[in-house]
Amino acid sequence: MSQTQTARLMDGVGLARRIVEETSSKATELARRVGVTPCLATVLVGEDPASVTYVRMKRARCAKAGIESRLVSLPATTTTAELVETLQSLSQDAGVHGILLQHPVGPHIDERAAFEAIAPEKDVDGVTMSSFGAMSFGLPGFASCTPGGIMRLLDEYEVDLAGQHAAVVGRSAILGKPVGMLLLARNATVTYCHSRTTDLAAIVQEADVVVAAVGRPRLIRGEDVKPGAVVIDAGYNPGNVGDVDFDTARTRARLITPVPGGVGPMTIAVLLAQTVDAASIQLGLAGR
Ligand SMILES: Nc1nc2c(c(=O)[nH]1)N[C@@H](CN(C=O)c1ccc(C(=O)N[C@@H](CCC(=O)O)C(=O)O)cc1)CN2
């Protein structure tokens, strides 16, 4: 590909819409067969404006897809013990099929302890160690939603990952680490980059696939994108700006996700799909 060609956009909105339509049909079928509406419980601690927006978006899309959504809003002063108790109680509630703890929680909370209080069969957000382990070994379980959405996008655009060098920029528990494991499972050669990586640009320049997942606006510059690379921007920053400098990166990449309209909508679509799958499994209508 010449260096001035414009990359094809990977349309997360269209693919997410199709996944949600499919999910909605499955939810309707479940209600028809056993009279149960799949239910997602969302736990929000505090009132971080971005988190409030994401939770609102998730609930609105649940409503459209025929999924019941239960919101548990807790004050910012909630302790780890109180949060763990809430998540354990939702885990034991037969009327709840999926549980989501909106990330991030306040710094005084042990987020890992909280995530581990979610029963693995209800971990539709794929945040527990059990889900991470199962996903890493290719065993049944729920993937972390954004990584799962990224893989669906790569499949949709027929990106063959075998033997490709993938640079994952970011190592968070819900995004960077799991997406690297999913790419590895597809036989990509994965390099994790992070705040201590000494020469990020040099690694990105060698990468056939770049996944930017660090939350630093426009960190990845077009000049560092290998001509013909696939660029996935999974960064969430204020003002709907991604981690990739889109305008310059698109002149070198073969495929690129826009922000907004790329990875974000896929995150919610995968969450909804996994909630309905969890309900089907818990009701004995599907295997894991
Ligand atoms: N428990 C979790 N917490 C967080 C996750 C997660 O997957 N699980 N991901 C992110 C934020 N997030 C969902 O929570 C999220 C962010 C953005 C979008 C999205 O669709 N963005 C749109 C633009 C939105 C707008 O117009 O305002 C887009 O990119 O097109 C969905 C989900 C952190 N926390």
Q: Determine the residue of 103, 152, 232, 270 to mutate for testing ligand 1's pocket, defined as the one with the most ligand atoms within 8 A of the Cβ atom.
A: 103
Q: So what's the pLDDT on residue 214?
A: 95
Query: Do 214 and 235 touch, CB atoms closer than 8 A?
Result: yes
Q: So what's the pLDDT on residue 53?
A: 96
Residues 128, 26, 260, 226, Cα dihedral to 10°: 70
Span from the CA of 32 to the centroid of ligand 1 (angstroms): 31
Query: Do 67 and 42 touch, CB atoms closer than 8 A?
Result: no
- The confidence band for 2, taking pLDDT boundaries of 50, 70 and 90, is very low
Nearest one of 181, 166, 145 to 230, comparing CA atoms: 166
Helix spans in 35-72 (H): 49-65
Sequence-separated (6 or more) residues with CB below 8 Å from residue 174: 103, 125, 126, 127, 144, 145, 146
Which residue is closest in CA terms to ligand 1's atom 23? 260
Would you say residue 1 has pLDDT above 70?
no
Q: Which of 2-11, 127-136, 145-154, 276-285 has the lowest mean pLDDT?
A: 2-11
170 annotated to a ligand binding site: yes
Which residue is closest in CA terms to ligand 1's atom 5? 103
Which residue is closest in CA terms to ligand 1's atom 18? 264
What tokens appear for 202 in the block? Answer: 């040099």
Helix spans in 157-254 (H): 176-185, 200-206, 246-249
Span from the CA of 267 to the centroid of ligand 1 (angstroms): 7
Assign 169 to helix, strand or coil: strand
Q: What percent of the chain has pLDDT over 70?
A: 98
Nearest one of 126, 119, 54, 53 to 84, comparing CA atoms: 119
> How many Å separate Cα 253 from the centre of its chain?
22
Would you say residue 163 has pLDDT above 70?
yes
172 annotated to a ligand binding site: yes
CA distance 194 to 196: 5
Could you tell me the maximum CA-CA distance found in the chain, to the nearest angstrom?
A: 57
The ligand 1 site (C-beta within 6 Å) comprises 54, 100-103, 125, 145-146, 174, 236, 240, 259-261, 264-265, 267-268
Q: So what's the pLDDT on residue 4?
A: 65
Note the pTM of the prediction, 2 decimals: 0.97
Q: Which atom of ligand 1 is nearest to the CA of 265?
A: 20
Average pLDDT, the chain: 96
